[in-house]
């Protein structure tokens, strides 16, 4: 569960941060001296990074909700005296 929260927080910061960077970008980008992007290429890179962060945010949020719901259901069943039989 803590991994979900850490990933959620990173996505919450990374998504809007890279979207803002894509929106206001007017410079090129060099990654480790290997990849060189023009200003347009850098804007596309930041936009794609932002989309990936928002997708990770959505998947992580759904997974966290599912995890919490499953945990509360198991707690409810254990308090009721066990798993119901079919």
Complete DSSP assignment for 51-65: HHHHHHHHHHHHHHH
* Mean pLDDT computed over 63-80: 75
pLDDT higher than threshold 90 for residue 53: yes
Residues in the chain: 86
Which position has the higher pLDDT, 49 or 78? 49
Q: What's the pLDDT tens digit per position in 7-34?
A: 888 888 999 999 999 999 999 999 999 9
Instruction: State the CB neighbour count (10 A cutoff) for residue 28.
Output: 13
pLDDT higher than threshold 90 for residue 81: no
pLDDT higher than threshold 60 for residue 69: yes
Residue in the block written with tokens 């990770």: 56
Helix (H, G, I), strand (E, B) or coil at 9: helix
């Amino acid at each position: 569960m803590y991994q979900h929260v850490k990933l959620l927080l990173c996505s919450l910061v990374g998504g809007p941060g890279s979207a803002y960077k894509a929106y206001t970008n007017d410079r090129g980008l060099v990654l480790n001296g290997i990849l060189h992007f023009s200003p347009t290429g850098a804007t596309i890179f930041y936009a794609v990074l932002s989309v990936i962060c928002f997708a990770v945010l959505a998947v992580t949020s759904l997974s966290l909700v599912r995890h919490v719901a499953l945990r509360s259901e198991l707690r409810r069943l254990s308090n009721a005296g066990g798993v119901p039989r079919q």
